[in-house]
Amino acid sequence: MYDSLDKNVDVENLALLPSGIHFRNYCLDDNNEKRVETFLDTLFDPHQSLPVTIEKHLTIIKSYISGGKPFEEFCTEVRKYNKSILCGFVWTNATISYRCRTCAANPCMSLCSDCFHNGNHQGHDANMFRSIGGGICDCGDVTVMNSNSFCKHHGPNRIPNAQIPYKLIRCAQILLPRVILRFVQHLRSHVSPIKSNTYSTIEEFTSLTSLFNLFDDLSNAGSCIRSIFTDCLLNIELYEKFNTQPSINDLSNISYNIYLQQLNETSSLLMPISLRTDNSSVYFHIKKATCLFDEILFWLVKYQIPERLLKFLLMLLTDLNFKSSCIQSFLNIYVMVIDQLIHCQNSRERMHSARLVHISVQLFSNIDITVQAIKDYHLMELILSSLYSIFSNIQINCQLQKPKENYHLVIYDIDFSKNMHYWPIISDFINILSHEYASKEFLLEKRFFITWIKMISWFQGMNVNHHEIESEILLQSNMNYLFAFTMETECCAMVLWTINAHIMKPDFLDITTKVINYLFLEVKQWFSSIGFEQYKDIIKNQVTFHIPLHRYISILSYLSLNYQNGELKTLFPIENEKFLLNLAIFPLRIQVVKYEILTNTIWSYHSYEMQIQSDMYSSTHGNICSYMNDADIFLLQLISTLVNINKFMEMFFKSFYVHEWLVQNTENNLIFEKSSYITLLEGSLIVLATIVAFSPHLVLDDFEHRRAEIINALVIQDCHYSYLDEHMGEPKSFATSKYDIQSIVDDIAEYISPTIDITNQPKQGQYKLKDFLWEDEFDPLHVLSRISRRDLFETTMQRYTKW
Ligand SMILES: [Zn+2]
Ligand SMILES: [Zn+2]
Ligand SMILES: [Zn+2]
């Protein structure tokens, strides 16, 4: 059998290279160490390119690893000694996987189909999804999911396997490190000359497909093989020896110097002043590699995260010890990725760099690793500096009030919408904050939240809409105004919701009060930088839907008042009436604009764009309404109780132009048609009623509100379960909700089975609100807060009268 294998080997080497069985015998005898080395030197001669070596000698390499056994047989045998408690099945392209919200301790939890079906998820809130970006099965990881639901092959309670026999694994232990060393030489040799900055492309990695297939097979053979790789990758001595061995004179392109030159070319990440302490350094530099893993990570990023190499590393990450040892190496190259995200040329390049999240999600989902990284490796500073550098790179003067007198900077979304390169980093940030320790640390350390507040102020006043098309004002494309909403929710809202999940208890009253106070200071600074002195000066032919500082104040105050025993008089500057009215005018302006749009005349130039923005503002999809509309309404509710009510009413009705029409009785010089005033009057009364009576949905896990939202959704239309799941106006929670939708739905709605479909496609049944709830709990104001189109409201009212 082995003779036939040897036929594939290059004729010149045939005489030199022994068969698999002979190789095994040499390996098992320590006296033959030198001899084995010589064979491997021949096999992995760097004068021959690695793809050629693999192409010519793959069969013999496999037979050496297995010690002469058929390779498949060897892998199956080795797998029997698997020690890993984690499943770690890796997929990098679209694959069906599973998520169980009942069992998840982390938002990013995912399971492979084997582990899901073999685990215990009876009656759980679980769903199947197509994970487009790829992922890793978390079965067996106690930090990510409930251990009761592990399948029987994974988790700490699985029956451990026996120790692997020395004779079985010895050859692999000798050969595999050599493959890795040769691979690193290959990575070095393929980098293009410095300065030209064109690295070898990812496509070149296809020439190594057979090698990566081999890596995959070996990694799938379980922990015995994986630990050979990880031991070799983290071995400091091995790496030193590798770099100090006498260089091969005619092959300078594989030397350590190549790596060093490339390392010197990388730029550093600046730490914003607000984050620095007396003894912190100003820059995050990329440190020199101390082991093969460091260097491989460096090349991984340099070559824009080629998929196959990434997959290999991800498979190794299923080893928990390796995972915790590699966090420092990973954070080291994080800086490089930020630099690439900021400077790369096109969306394809950015998409490649974004693959970094595959690794970071594995690391940051693990609580122990995240805590260690915050304590020992400045993770919080690193991630905030990264975001700071990404956002500060694309700013433009805010167009609010009089643009020429406005010195405030906002994020310029045109740049972003093309490429969305903030996403991987914000997703890491949210993942980190999902650990209570991290959220706490973030709030307790003033430098951290001050820096974040500075960043959210850059979203404040984004994307200003103007009545007239003025030449000096940048016209926005449709994409951009939608993108501004996505961006504000993904960055500002998600971070706030993630933190809030941890601070809904009285222990956090002091710190929440402090944060709100800093937000007030930032708003004051914002007023002065946009040249805004008092609410009467607000310019009415423009509007921005983006006021995250206001929304942070509102939502944090709600949380403090309802869950921390906070008191309004200590949270809010209650004596400063002028400031409070100034604070109210921007959210009020948005409420007015909702009805300005309905007049069909005031925003006639941009009626389509404005309608879409107004829809987004109240949209239940993506839970934007809770964060925008509800937060703005709650802020108005608070302020209306704190200021002189007459002043508030005057400001209120003047904003709706009702004052000039009704009170001043200046019929002759009115600016709009009479019908517009009627729409605005109606709007003002609805908004006023909302301020008086609407109960906003601002915190997670609030049973009454959740129930009210489900009723509201069913009032508007009969819905599928999945629709309810997605279109419910409530803050998005990562934590498992205590009150699951199903039990509420069962209580308030009737299930209507699907009608028989001749196409035989599976059809979902719908839910219909129980009749008596129309009488008891139908709330037209609630409906109006969740929709912006009047026709939908009219349909709802027809449904109500029909009932
Ligand atoms: Zn699995
Ligand atoms: Zn499993
Ligand atoms: Zn489950």
**CATH (domain of 100):** 2.10.110.30
pLDDT value at residue 198: 47
Whether residue 6 is predicted with pLDDT greater than 50 in this model: the reply is: no
Rounding to the nearest 10 degrees, give the CA dihedral for residues 416, 93, 345, 272. 60
- Residue 328 CA to residue 84 CA, distance in Å, equals 22
CB 700 within 8 A of CB 731: yes
The per-residue b/e assignment along 132-154, b for 16 or more CB within 10 angstroms, e otherwise, is: eebbbbbbbbbebbbeebbbebb
Q: Is 584 exposed, middle or buried (0-12, 13-18, 19+ CB in 10 A)?
A: buried
In angstroms, what is the span from residue 139 Cα to ligand 3's centroid? 11
Domains identified in the chain, total number: 4
Rounding to the nearest 10 degrees, give the CA dihedral for residues 351, 352, 358, 363. -110
In angstroms, what is the span from residue 134 Cα to ligand 2's centroid? 18
- Residue 337 CA to residue 298 CA, distance in Å, equals 10
Q: Stretch 377-405: mean pLDDT, rounded?
A: 91
pLDDT value at residue 757: 54
Pair (549, 463) in one structural domain = yes
Of 617, 250, 279, the C-alpha closest to 465 is: 617
Whether residue 305 is predicted with pLDDT greater than 60 in this model: the reply is: yes
Kindly state whether residue 162 falls inside one of the protein's structural domains: no
In angstroms, what is the span from residue 337 Cα to ligand 1's centroid? 29
Of 485, 354, 370, the C-alpha closest to 439 is: 370
Q: Which two three-digit tokens encode residue 613?
A: 């923005």
Whether residue 687 is predicted with pLDDT greater than 90 in this model: the reply is: yes
Phi-psi region of 723 (alpha: psi -120 to 50; beta: other; left: phi over 0): alpha
List Cβ neighbours of 582 (8 Å cut-off, separation of 6 or more).
Answer: 527, 532, 534, 535
Q: Which two three-digit tokens encode residue 385?
A: 């500096």
In angstroms, what is the span from residue 154 Cα to ligand 2's centroid? 5
Kindly state whether residue 437 falls inside one of the protein's structural domains: yes
Phi-psi region of 754 (alpha: psi -120 to 50; beta: other; left: phi over 0): beta
The domain boundary, picked from 378, 402, 434, lies at 378
SS3 of 266, please?
A: coil
- Residue 475 CA to residue 382 CA, distance in Å, equals 35
Pair (754, 792) in one structural domain = yes
In angstroms, what is the span from residue 97 Cα to ligand 3's centroid? 13
Pair (601, 727) in one structural domain = no
* For the chain, counts of helices (H) and of strands (E): 41, 13
Kindly state whether residue 258 falls inside one of the protein's structural domains: no
Q: pLDDT for 81-125, tens place per residue?
A: 888 888 887 776 677 889 888 888 877 788 988 899 988 888 888
Ligand with the closest atom to the CA of 145:
3
pLDDT value at residue 502: 93
The domain boundary, picked from 652, 673, 693, lies at 693
- Residue 53 CA to residue 668 CA, distance in Å, equals 90
Q: Which DSSP symbol is given to 536? A: G
pLDDT value at residue 667: 64
Ligand with the closest atom to the CA of 125:
3
Q: Which DSSP symbol is given to 104? A: B
In angstroms, what is the span from residue 138 Cα to ligand 2's centroid? 8
Q: To the nearest whole number, what is the mean pLDDT of the chain?
A: 87
In angstroms, what is the span from residue 98 Cα to ligand 3's centroid? 10
- Number of residues that this document lists for the chain: 803
Q: Confidence band (pLDDT; 50, 70, 90) for 653?
A: very high
pLDDT value at residue 362: 87
Of 743, 744, 745, 628, the C-alpha closest to 696 is: 628
Q: Which amino acid, residue 614?
A: S
Whether residue 661 is predicted with pLDDT greater than 90 in this model: the reply is: no
In angstroms, what is the span from residue 227 Cα to ligand 1's centroid? 19
Pair (411, 487) in one structural domain = yes
The DSSP result for 51-67, as a single string, is HHHHHHHHHHHHHHHTT
CB 613 within 8 A of CB 476: no
In angstroms, what is the span from residue 113 Cα to ligand 1's centroid? 7
Ligand with the closest atom to the CA of 150:
2
- Residue 310 CA to residue 92 CA, distance in Å, equals 9
- Residue 627 CA to residue 38 CA, distance in Å, equals 67
Q: Confidence band (pLDDT; 50, 70, 90) for 73?
A: very high
Q: Stretch 138-152: mean pLDDT, rounded?
A: 88
Pair (426, 518) in one structural domain = yes
Pair (734, 686) in one structural domain = no
Pair (286, 318) in one structural domain = yes
Of 365, 343, 306, 308, the C-alpha closest to 137 is: 365
Pair (687, 752) in one structural domain = no
Kindly state whether residue 355 falls inside one of the protein's structural domains: yes
Tell me how crowded residue 791 is: count the other CB atoms within 10 A of its CB.
8
Q: pLDDT for 526-558, tens place per residue?
A: 999 999 999 999 999 899 999 999 999 999 999
Q: Please name every residue paired with 769 in a beta bridge, in sequence order, or none if there are none.
A: 749
Pair (568, 462) in one structural domain = yes
- Residue 452 CA to residue 440 CA, distance in Å, equals 14
In angstroms, what is the span from residue 145 Cα to ligand 1's centroid? 12
Q: Which DSSP symbol is given to 468? A: S
Ligand with the closest atom to the CA of 104:
3
In angstroms, what is the span from residue 656 Cα to ligand 1's centroid? 58
pLDDT value at residue 340: 84
How large is the C-alpha radius of gyration of the chain?
31
CB 711 within 8 A of CB 773: yes
In angstroms, what is the span from residue 117 Cα to ligand 1's centroid? 10
Whether residue 772 is predicted with pLDDT greater than 80 in this model: the reply is: yes
Of 699, 694, 769, the C-alpha closest to 737 is: 699
In angstroms, what is the span from residue 142 Cα to ligand 2's centroid? 12
- Residue 238 CA to residue 232 CA, distance in Å, equals 7
Whether residue 449 is predicted with pLDDT greater than 70 in this model: the reply is: yes
Q: pLDDT for 583-613, tens place per residue?
A: 999 999 999 999 999 998 888 888 888 999 9
Q: Which position has the token pair 């309802």?
A: 562
Q: Is 348 exposed, middle or buried (0-12, 13-18, 19+ CB in 10 A)?
A: exposed
In angstroms, what is the span from residue 253 Cα to ligand 3's centroid? 52
Kindly state whether residue 286 falls inside one of the protein's structural domains: yes
Whether residue 23 is predicted with pLDDT greater than 80 in this model: the reply is: yes
pLDDT value at residue 3: 36
C-alpha distances in Å from residue 171, one per residue of 38, 544, 779: 15, 67, 74
Kindly state whether residue 753 falls inside one of the protein's structural domains: yes
Q: Which two three-digit tokens encode residue 628?
A: 């925008």
Whether residue 747 is predicted with pLDDT greater than 70 in this model: the reply is: yes
- Higher-pLDDT residue of 347 and 615 is 615
Q: Confidence band (pLDDT; 50, 70, 90) for 2?
A: very low
Long-range interactions of 171-174: CB distance < 8 A, separation 24+:
171/23, 171/24, 171/27, 171/64, 171/65, 171/66, 171/67, 172/65, 172/66, 172/78, 172/218, 172/225, 172/228, 173/228, 174/27, 174/36, 174/40
Domain that holds residue 314: 266-378
Q: pLDDT for 457-491, tens place per residue?
A: 999 999 888 887 654 455 555 567 888 898 899 99
Pair (678, 707) in one structural domain = no
The domain boundary, picked from 663, 693, 723, lies at 693
Q: Specify the DSSP element, H or E, that contains 466.
A: strand 465-466
Helix extents (H) in 100-150: 113-118
Q: Confidence band (pLDDT; 50, 70, 90) for 70?
A: very high
Pair (530, 622) in one structural domain = yes
In angstroms, what is the span from residue 134 Cα to ligand 1's centroid? 13
Most confident of 119-128, 270-279, 337-346, 659-668: 270-279
In angstroms, what is the span from residue 317 Cα to ligand 1's centroid? 14
SS3 of 575, please?
A: coil
- Higher-pLDDT residue of 249 and 509 is 509
pLDDT value at residue 418: 63
In angstroms, what is the span from residue 110 Cα to ligand 1's centroid? 9
Terminal alpha carbon distance of the chain:
81
Pair (465, 421) in one structural domain = yes
CB 398 within 8 A of CB 530: yes
CB 591 within 8 A of CB 687: yes
Q: Stretch 215-229: mean pLDDT, rounded?
A: 92
CATH of the domain at 735: 1.10.10
Rounding to the nearest 10 degrees, give the CA dihedral for residues 560, 563, 566, 567. 100
Q: Stretch 330-351: mean pLDDT, rounded?
A: 83
CB 620 within 8 A of CB 786: yes
- Residue 170 CA to residue 324 CA, distance in Å, equals 26
In angstroms, what is the span from residue 154 Cα to ligand 1's centroid? 8
pLDDT value at residue 196: 41
Ligand with the closest atom to the CA of 318:
1
pLDDT above 90: percentage of residues in the chain: 50
Kindly state whether residue 472 falls inside one of the protein's structural domains: yes
pLDDT value at residue 482: 85
Whether residue 195 is predicted with pLDDT greater than 50 in this model: the reply is: no
- Residue 161 CA to residue 681 CA, distance in Å, equals 76
Whether residue 442 is predicted with pLDDT greater than 70 in this model: the reply is: yes
Kindly state whether residue 83 falls inside one of the protein's structural domains: no
- Higher-pLDDT residue of 108 and 175 is 175
Q: pLDDT for 247-271, tens place per residue?
A: 677 788 888 999 999 999 888 999 9
Whether residue 11 is predicted with pLDDT greater than 60 in this model: the reply is: no
Q: Which two three-digit tokens encode residue 724?
A: 């309810």
E-assigned strands of 699-744?
A: 719-720
pLDDT value at residue 467: 82
Q: Which position has the token pair 């709007």?
A: 683
Rounding to the nearest 10 degrees, give the CA dihedral for residues 613, 615, 621, 625. 90
